[in-house]
Structure 1
Amino acid sequence: MRIVRYQETESGEVSYGVLGADELITPLDGDPYGERRAFDRPARPLAEVTLLAPVEPSKVIAVGRNFAAHAAELGNQVPERPLIFLKPSTSVVGPGARIVFPEYTDELHHEAELAAVIGVRCRDLKPDEVPGVLLGYTCANDVTARDLQKPDGQWWRAKGSDTFCPLGPWVETELDPAGLRITATVNGELRQEGGTHQMVRPVNELIAHISAAMTLLPGDVVLTGTPAGVSRMSPGDTVTIAVEGVGELTNTVVRAI
């Protein structure tokens, strides 16, 4: 099942819905957590609405260096424990939205990632309990101002600036995260290609580790790491993140005004 969050073109009303194979959206009454009830109103053609980020997380928890080849390409070692950092909710944008290239960086990178979406409030999970708390999976671009990571120490600007967390295009609720291909293309050129089988630590282990320290809420997002091949983005570029079994997330890069 594909869960979308969308905005009506004329009224501006925002709703959740279920996207069918016929590209019609069945609106949901409320959010997709818990029991899902359809609104008593007609289905909406996908082409007639604007897709938004599929969830509104209270927080985005990300994992660094979870692909050995990516760690190596930046001259880093794979950490002994998962390297966890936060991206604020204000960094989240949806499919088709603009990634803003800030004036305080000269080196903006894409990072293609599989993102797990939490479906219920949870804490202190065991790895085998993780599948039961997930709403599903979506695509993510962990946009990074690479030249700010070391000078700042904390990655608050490098990872957390506005528009630095595109998500979408929807949440796929029926997906096995094992063995999925992950790619990033820039202006149609393949830059990143890898798979979830290359992860140092699998999704279930990562989320269990995170939940030992903090409560996860419905809609929270966990970014699970990026494969090798990260590269620069420039104003005017079109960047597409694709995750097998989920779909494609496309955004354009623009210079800050």
Structure 2
Amino acid sequence: MKIARLMHDGKETYGLIIDGNVATKDSIIHETGVPLPLSIIDFLFDGWYDEIKDKISSTSFQDKFEKFRLLHPLPNPSKIICLTFNYPKHAEEQNYVSTKEPVIFIKPRTTLCGTGSEIRCPNFVKQLDYEIELAVIIGKTCKNIDEIASKDYIFGYMIFNDVSARDIQMQDKQFTRGKSFDTFAPCGPWITSAEEITDVDNLQLTTRINGQVRQNSSTKNMFINIPSIVSKLSQVMTLEKGDIIATGTPEGVALNNPDTPFLKDGDEIEMEIEKLGKIQNTVKFIG
């Protein structure tokens, strides 16, 4: 199932999406009698989604998708954990080698924005870059779990763009500041629940800049796979419901690729992951 956070007539809600049609929270309440909570976080992770799953087939999806503006799916996650160099070809193009243990940094939640939003970048940034990533959404709090158990703690997946100010990243010699500007994590367009994805280890990822393909790979090329990522991270920190794990980007970014230009004002970015949809964002440089 696809679960989206929605805006219509200045009011925020959430709903389920099937074939371009939407069943909003209010319509689900009306048709099922289940008193759903106001918060999408409570709906997803406190048992309400499970409560209505067997009622979805009898729910009418009466609103057209185009009626709504999509917001980034999770408004207030406790953590956004990002892996680096988890695709060997990307590591190679950056003169690095993928490692057996996850190398991570954490982005603040103020970086999040949805599809259709502007990526607003200060003018002092001169090397703005893109990174398509598959994001894992944690559904239940966990600590010290093994790889086999990890699937029980994954709620779903979405697209994630780890936007990066490379000149700042290179100046600092670490990742956090250059990847932490507001709007530097477009994501969505919705959350696709885990039961809908039968083979998460074989999904096509594509980035297009102004229609030109820049990244074209598959999740099968990850060095550390998703069960191992979740298990290894849980050995370091408690993973909490709603946490976002961005699992790394494949080759094709602008950094260290002289024939691939950095992003400029007005560039249109489209990122697509098979079975998860597309996100589209515009670059806006600001004074």
Alignment TM class, shorter chain as reference = over 0.9
- Structure 2 CA distance for aligned equivalents of residues 228 and 42 of structure 1: 39
Distance 1:22 1:104, change over 3 A: closer
Q: Tell me how large the CA RMSD over aligned residues is.
A: 1.8
1:34-62: per-residue Cα shift (whole Å, max 9, x none)?
22266x99853211111001112221100
Asked if the contact 2:136–2:157 (Cα under 8 Å) also holds between the matched residues in 1, the reply is yes
Distance 1:253 1:22, change over 3 A: closer
Alignment identity in percent?
34
Asked if the contact 1:63–1:225 (Cα under 8 Å) also holds between the matched residues in 2, the reply is yes
Task: Report the CA distance between 1:15 and its aligned residue.
Answer: 1.8
1:34-91: per-residue Cα shift (whole Å, max 9, x none)?
22266x9985321111100111222110000001110111222223421111011111
Does residue 17 (structure 1) correspond to residue 15 (structure 2)? The answer is: yes
Q: Flag the structure with higher helix content.
A: 2
Structure 1: tracts of 5 or more residues without a match: none
Give the aligned residue type for 1:69.
K
Matching of residues 1-257 of structure 1 within 5 Å? 1-8=1-8, 10=9, 12-27=10-25, 29-30=36-37, 31-33=43-45, 34-36=47-49, 43-56=62-75, 57-173=77-193, 174-175=196-197, 176-231=199-254, 232-257=262-287
- Structure 2 CA distance for aligned equivalents of residues 129 and 157 of structure 1: 34
- Structure 1 CA distance for aligned equivalents of residues 251 and 11 of structure 2: 39
- Structure 2 CA distance for aligned equivalents of residues 81 and 20 of structure 1: 38
- Structure 2 CA distance for aligned equivalents of residues 153 and 84 of structure 1: 14
Show structure 1 runs of 4+ deviating over 3 A: 40-44
SS at structure 1 position matched to 2:101: coil
Structure possessing the higher radius of gyration over alpha carbons: 2
User: How many equivalent residue pairs?
Assistant: 254
SS at structure 2 position matched to 1:178: helix
Distance 1:46 1:151, change over 3 A: same
When structure 1 is superposed on structure 2, of 23-32 and 101-110 the one drifting more is: 23-32
Normalised TM-score (structure 1): 0.93
